[in-house]
Amino acid sequence: MKALCGVEAHAAALAGLPVMTPVRLSKLLDGFKPEMAWSAVRAGTHPADPRRRFAYEARKTDVPEVGERYTRAGVRVLLPDAADYPSMLVGDPGAPAVLFALGDPTAPEGRPRVAIVGTRSATHYGRQVASDLASELAGAGVVVVSGLARGIDGAAHAGVVRGAADVGAPPVAVVGTGLDVVYPSSNGELWSEVADRGVIFSESPLGRQPRPGVFPARNRIIAALSDVVVVVESHYGGGSLYTAEAAARRSIPVCAVPGSVHSRASEGTNALLVDGCVPVRDATDVLVAISLARAGRESEVGPGSSSAPGARTSRSTPNHPTRSTTGGRRPQASAEAAMDAPQRAVWEAVDDTPTAFETILIRTDLTIPAAAEACEHLVEQGQLVAGAGWWSKS
Amino acid sequence: MIATIPSAVLIGVDGKPVFVEVHVSNGLPGFTVVGLPDAAVRESRDRVRAALLSSSLPWPLRRVTVNLAPSGVRKGGAGLDLPIAIGVLVASGALDPRTVDNTAFVGELGLDGSLRGVPGTLVLAEALGRYRLVVPAASGHEAVLAREGEIRMSGSLGAVVEQLAGHRPWNQSAVSVPPSLSSPRSTTAPSGMDLADVRGQRLARRALEVAAAGGHHLLMVGPPGSGKTMLANRFPGLLPDLPRPRALEVTRVHSVAGLPLTPCGLIDRPPFRAPHHGASPVAMIGGGSGWMRPGEISLAHGGVLFLDEMGEFSAVVLDALRQPLEEGQVRVSRARGSTTFPARFILVGAMNPCPCGEGGAPGACRCSQSARERYSRRLSAPLFDRFDIAIRVDRPPVDELVGGGPAETTSAVAARVDRARQRAFRRGVSVNADLRASTLDEVVPMTRGAAQVVEKHVRSGALSARGFHRVHRLARTVADLDSVEGVIEEAHVREALLLRSRRELLLGTESR
């Protein structure tokens, strides 16, 4: 990669100043070229910085060295007038004045894009849905945008990278930390895989640690990058509802995956459905929502008109080829027939939220060893997932 | 003139014989006590003088010197009041030396001359086994427990003098301690609590039963209001009576700590201690300046230590439990010396799964994963490892609370526990938790099918080597409860696997 030219190094240096926020940065760069803004900030004469908040730090900063750091880290610095700056963000009211990218920033261009977001403390059900949706949508050529966080976001990206690298659409992530700060650290592998295949965007400079405020702010970029936002699971008042709100403000359709009314992790999504969001059962519902069902099948996709209401009425026939996920996860009729009486009783006792052993005992009236054996057998068959003291359907 | 009166003081949970030497001579009237007395003993000068005068006994207007021998040992407590008073009477010639021949005295004096009970009379009496012993009537039942020999009881200093002279008969029986003077803390299990009061909770009830039968430490994890405390309070009721040697050990500790004993003196029911989570390390382990007091873990010796809201205890207190849990005793060392307290108990812990209390299963709670991890770390891995059983306790469904048939009573479960313990006793251990890992396969074998079930868990990585032994012991206890004599069967192993403790219970993560 060639060394950063002066404009980009100056923009990165500005973004890297302490206490810099996206809003302050766009004020500083409003009507100023980065070099001009930099020298004005340094001299303390910038009109957007009347209190000379940044002047002292700016004088201590060595701009060529900052450019050097970004080059070494392989991180691109994108300015709104650059050719590689995501076209979806141009003209967006909340567009970042400087965007950092690890990977190929043109990955989302020319493809339909869907954001799959949700809570960090997700249930097994939520992670499964997110991962299946992402995997199928990526296979159909839809770019999946998410936040590389714990729970739903991570599951969505994991679903995308599950497929082969050369088929399907590349993954796109927008994170809140600097691009050299992997957060949460448990996602390290996923992080590098997403960067290899697609791109990770961030508006935080290198080295920026996670801090409150950056995650809601990056949610607006996730929304702005997408044609449709799908919320898989969200608590009441959860962070992913920010994404939904940011999408609604940009007239981007918001879809939600329905959950059990008993599950607290689905409170937010169920509330979205009550408010009139489009329900999502599987990948087809998402494709329909972006009016791409037909195009998705023939892989001649283009950025769709995101008119969801019309799409809802043109719902495809029930035996549509891509509609296989939900049916596939239920146990086959033969598997259910193979269960003995206690296993069937346990299978029926486990509902759609994690079920405690005590509840299974009450519902089945089995002895403790018999119920334990049935649970264990069903886990081995892959029909139940065992947690710590609870079980749920896989 | 000089008089030497035998008595004893407490060192840890042991009595140490002490000779009270009183010397009365001509000189300026005065009263000095030497021989490393602590504040309580030094103050006995004033108590003894007042008690003698109120009992219309003569106080020598001469120089009185009291030496406590051996003079190298630090003496504490007020139990030396009575021997000092008797010594003064003998040395000043008011009492015939022959009447106190070969007689030891223990007792605290009131200013009116009354005799008050002394903590630890049981062990003091043991230490003075070769003497005729005079004790306050209030502590008489403890002294009688200690030994067969001649125990004399009395109610006041005046009475002691008359009784020694033979003018009055000794008290026949001990008087019970008025409740107002006894400590308000309960030592034994709260009475009137029956397991039948607990609705539903089949798994938790079973866990209590297995823990009681096998002496396994038990951890209950669940949201507030799920009945963890209610279950724990009913746990000691399931344990059998203490055998006499163990009962004596327990009584000694309680006597030393000055806690009220049962009317007959001997504590034969397993004690139940539930310290608040603000407890300091010294309160928990034992110690203190001057007088080494046994801590909660020693007061729970032979019984149950229940730590409610275990996550709220300080890390120092919790980690201090590790060594006593392993060794069954605790050695408390201070600059002035060290002492060993017994501490063999069943640990019952209760805690919430996460800071908000609702969680456990994913999606149910609002805590972040890192908050949950931080909360779970309050229970260090080595301490968590001591728990053989860990279960999730959830709030019972409403229809179980209002309806449902009567549940099994404490006595029915206790009978099963008792039979199971007898089976363990025939194997040469008091409880199955004490079975040695190296001899497990030999002493308590499993059927082939059962071994395969466990093996599968070990192979999948869900069970460590230590966990394997734990499941083996648990399975044996389950089999004992089901009255299965021979080998451990598959159903027993499955139940043990379900009850065994797993770290995921706190983290709320999926195990597979």
Can you give the CATH number for the domain in which A206 is found? 3.40.50.450
- Of the three residues A327, A350, A383, the one that is the final residue of a domain is A327
Closest partner residue to A361 (CB to CB) among B203, B502, B507 is: B203
B290 pLDDT band (50/70/90 cuts)? Answer: low
What is the rounded average pLDDT for all residues in chain B?
85
Determine contact: A388 vs chain B, CB below 8 A.
Answer: yes
**What does the pLDDT look like over B462-486, one tens digit per residue?**
788 888 888 999 999 999 999 888 8
Mutate: best of B358, B481, B494, partner A, most A CBs <10 A: B494
Can you give the CATH number for the domain in which B259 is found? 3.40.50.300
What is the rounded average pLDDT for all residues in chain A?
83
3-state secondary structure of B427: coil
**What does the pLDDT look like over B422-443, one tens digit per residue?**
998 888 888 888 888 888 888 8
Phi, psi (degrees; rounded to nearest 5) at B272? -130, 115
Cβ–Cβ below 8 Å for B510 and A123: no
- Position A303 pLDDT exceeds 60: no
Sign of the four-CA dihedral B176, B274, B382, B219: positive
CA distance A299 to A27: 42
Predicted confidence at residue B511, as pLDDT, reads 35
CA distance A285 to B413: 56
Predicted confidence at residue B105, as pLDDT, reads 95
Look at phi and psi of residue A267 and say left if phi exceeds 0, alpha if psi is from -120 to 50, else beta: alpha
Could you tell me where the beta strands, DSSP code E, fall in B146-259? 151-154, 218-221
If asked whether residues B145 and B226 sit together in one domain, one would say: no
Predicted confidence at residue B502, as pLDDT, reads 79
**What does the pLDDT look like over B370-407, one tens digit per residue?**
787 888 888 888 888 889 999 988 887 776 666 666 78
Cβ–Cβ below 8 Å for A361 and B202: yes
Q: For residue A77, with 0-12 CB atoms within 10 Å meaning exposed, 13-18 middle and 19 or more buried, which class applies?
A: buried
Range of the domain at A38: 1-72
Structure tokens at B47: 């108590």
Range of the domain at B45: 2-164
Residue B268 is classified by DSSP as -
Q: Which residues on B lie below 8 Å from A368 (Cβ)?
A: 202-203, 206, 495, 498
- Position B266 pLDDT exceeds 90: no
Report which of A387, A391, A382, A265 is spatially closest to residue A328, judged by C-alpha positions.
A382
Helices (H), B92-139: 121-127
Structure tokens at A66: 């900052």
**What does the pLDDT look like over B12-45, one tens digit per residue?**
778 889 999 999 999 899 999 998 888 878 889 9
362-381 in chain A: CB under 8 A from chain B? 362, 368-370, 372-373, 376, 379
Q: Which residue of B has its CA nearest to A268?
A: B363
Cβ–Cβ below 8 Å for A359 and B397: yes
Structure tokens at A275: 């408010």
Report which of B21, B22, B27 is spatially closest to residue B63, judged by C-alpha positions.
B27
If asked whether residues A384 and A255 sit together in one domain, one would say: no
Closest partner residue to A390 (CB to CB) among B361, B490, B506 is: B361
Q: Which amino acid is at B22?
A: V
Predicted confidence at residue B234, as pLDDT, reads 92
If asked whether residues B97 and B246 sit together in one domain, one would say: no
Structure tokens at B128: 């003075």
Structure tokens at B134: 């005079």
- Position A319 pLDDT exceeds 50: no
Which 3-state string (H, E, C) describes chain A?
Answer: CCCCCHHHHHHHHHHCCCCCCHHHHHHHHCCCCHHHHHHHHHHCCCCCCCCCCCHHHHHHCCHHHHHHHHHHHCCEEECCCCCCCCHHHCCCCCCCCCEEEEECCCCCCCCCEEEEECCCCCCHHHHHHHHHHHHHHHHCCCEEEECCCCCHHHHHHHHHHHCCCCCCCCCEEEECCCCCCCCCHHHHHHHHHHHHHCEEEECCCCCCCCCCCHHHHHHHHHHHHCCEEEECCCCCCCCHHHHHHHHHHCCCCEEECCCCCCCHHHHHHHHHHHCCCEECCCHHHHHHHCCCHHHHHHCCCCCCCCCHHHHHHCCCCCCCCCCCHHHHHCCCHHHHHCCCHHHHHHHHHCCCCCEEHHHHHHHHCCCHHHHHHHHHHHHHCCCEEECCCEEEEC
Q: Report whether B390 contacts B496 (CB < 8 A).
A: no
Phi, psi (degrees; rounded to nearest 5) at A63? -60, -50
Q: Report whether B507 contacts B373 (CB < 8 A).
A: yes
3-state secondary structure of B172: coil
Predicted confidence at residue A323, as pLDDT, reads 43
Cβ–Cβ below 8 Å for A358 and B368: no
**Chains A, B: CB pairs < 8 Å:** 115
Report which of B415, B433, B424 is spatially closest to residue B347, judged by C-alpha positions.
B433
Count of structural domains, chain B: 2
Q: For residue A272, with 0-12 CB atoms within 10 Å meaning exposed, 13-18 middle and 19 or more buried, which class applies?
A: buried
**What does the pLDDT look like over B67-95, one tens digit per residue?**
998 887 888 878 899 999 999 999 999 99
Q: Which amino acid is at A92?
A: D
If asked whether residues A243 and A279 sit together in one domain, one would say: yes
Determine contact: A122 vs chain B, CB below 8 A.
Answer: yes
Mean of pLDDT values over B334-360: 84
Q: Which residue of A has its CA nearest to B503?
A: A388
Residue A126 lies in a domain: yes
Closest partner residue to A369 (CB to CB) among B491, B505, B507 is: B491
If asked whether residues B160 and B199 sit together in one domain, one would say: no
Residue B78 is classified by DSSP as S
If asked whether residues B468 and B375 sit together in one domain, one would say: yes
Can you give the CATH number for the domain in which A336 is found? 1.10.10.10
Closest partner residue to B502 (CB to CB) among A120, A150, A388 is: A388
Pairing of strands A390-393, A384-386: antiparallel
CA angle A307, A313, A314 (to 5 degrees): 85
Count of structural domains, chain A: 3
Q: Which residue of A has its CA nearest to B222?
A: A389
Query: What is the ipTM metric for this complex?
Result: 0.70
- Position A63 pLDDT exceeds 50: yes
- Position B177 pLDDT exceeds 50: no
If asked whether residues A261 and A141 sit together in one domain, one would say: yes
Residue A353 lies in a domain: yes
If asked whether residues B224 and B82 sit together in one domain, one would say: no
Q: Please state, as a whole number, how many other Cβ atoms lie within 10 Å of the Cβ of residue B363.
A: 27
pTM: 0.70
B182 pLDDT band (50/70/90 cuts)? Answer: very low
Strand order in the sheet with B218-221: B272-273, B304-307, B346-351, B218-221, B389-392
Predicted confidence at residue B260, as pLDDT, reads 77
pLDDT above 70 coverage of chain A, percent: 88
Determine contact: A108 vs chain B, CB below 8 A.
Answer: no
Residue A81 lies in a domain: no
Residue A106 lies in a domain: no
If asked whether residues B158 and B82 sit together in one domain, one would say: yes
Q: Which residues on A lie below 8 Å from B361 (Cβ)?
A: 123, 353-354, 356, 387, 390, 392
If asked whether residues B243 and B361 sit together in one domain, one would say: yes
Q: Report whether B213 contacts B476 (CB < 8 A).
A: no
Report which of A279, A359, A108 is spatially closest to residue B395, judged by C-alpha positions.
A359
3-state secondary structure of B166: coil
Closest partner residue to A386 (CB to CB) among B494, B507, B512 is: B512
Predicted confidence at residue A211, as pLDDT, reads 84
Q: Which residues of B125-137 are buried (b: 16+ CB within 10 A; e: fewer)?
A: bbbbeebbbbbbb
If asked whether residues B438 and B341 sit together in one domain, one would say: yes
Residue B291 lies in a domain: yes
Nearest-CA distance from B451 to chain A in Å? 14
**What does the pLDDT look like over A128-172, one tens digit per residue?**
899 999 999 999 889 999 999 988 999 999 999 988 777 889 999
Q: Please state, as a whole number, how many other Cβ atoms lie within 10 Å of the Cβ of residue A151.
A: 26
Residue A102 lies in a domain: no
Closest partner residue to A379 (CB to CB) among B367, B498, B512 is: B512
**What does the pLDDT look like over A350-391, one tens digit per residue?**
877 788 888 888 888 888 888 888 888 888 888 888 877 778
Predicted confidence at residue B473, as pLDDT, reads 92
Determine contact: A284 vs chain B, CB below 8 A.
Answer: no
Q: Which residues on A lie below 8 Å from B367 (Cβ)?
A: 121
Cβ–Cβ below 8 Å for B366 and A121: yes
Neighbouring-strand partners of residue A173: A146, A200
Report which of B44, B5, B3 is spatially closest to residue B134, judged by C-alpha positions.
B5
Mean of pLDDT values over A224-231: 92
B287 pLDDT band (50/70/90 cuts)? Answer: confident
Report which of A248, A247, A253 is spatially closest to residue A223, judged by C-alpha positions.
A247
